Amino acid sequence: MGYSPQVLIIVLIIRMIDIYNLIIFARVIASWLVQNPYNPIYRFLFSMTEPILGPLRRMMPNMGLDFSPIVAYLLLNILKRILASLF
């Protein structure tokens, strides 16, 4: 017995959210370790995460530290739970 296409799409989206969370985590770690902002790995991580982190950063008050990765992680996990509750 197979799964319906809707369930497979939801599972795929949940897995993509998991991968995106890992990319955000890698960017946070790289921001502490990489001294050269033109490093190709850092540029890749930046280009993948900035479309989400940039708008979040602009909506949040400036508190000296960038909390946008934490907020993105929390929002993505809320989205994951909502999607998981659909099946």
* pLDDT at position 1: 56
pLDDT of residue 35: 87
- Mean per-residue pLDDT over the chain, rounded: 93
pTM over 0.85: yes
Residue type, 41: I
CB 44 within 8 A of CB 29: no
pLDDT, tens only, 19-55: 999 999 999 999 999 889 899 999 999 999 999 999 9
Question: In 3D, which of 26, 44, 23, 42 has the Cα closest to residue 34?
Answer: 42
Q: Read off the pLDDT band of 3 (50, 70, 90).
A: confident
